[in-house]
Amino acid sequence: MALNLTLPLRIAQALFALIMLGLTGYVAHWWSGWYHAYSPSQINFLLFTAIWTVIALLYLTLAPWKLPSAAHKFAILAVEALTMLFWFAGWVALAVFLSNRVCFGHVCDAAKAAAVFGAFE
């Protein structure tokens, strides 16, 4: 009997995406309130990536289950690969952005945690 770990991995993926949504949302909100300007593109991209992941997870979990005709193996592979690429690019960009900044306080901790959770995702 084969052990299917897809659902637990999807749940972990969703949990990390929601954590990232909260962290990057907090940093973006703080940045726009403190500096009265748009938040950095690195934060905005990771915010987009978290939202994209939630939408992609809906497709990746519901399509094979409810709409098998929409769950083509190459479509699933494409969504997985695109999501992976987004996360990789996002956390690397945020880590580079944070590496040469003077950073302190709760918002700095949230941004650093976002970089770590982005790497895990």
User: Which residue in 63, 64, 110, 120 sits closest to 88, CA to CA?
Assistant: 120
The structure's pTM equals 0.89
CA distances from 84 to 24, 28, 80, 88, 89 (A): 18, 22, 6, 6, 9
| Across 33-46, average pLDDT | 90
Residue 5 is predicted with a pLDDT of 86
> pLDDT confidence of 51, banded at 50, 70, 90?
very high
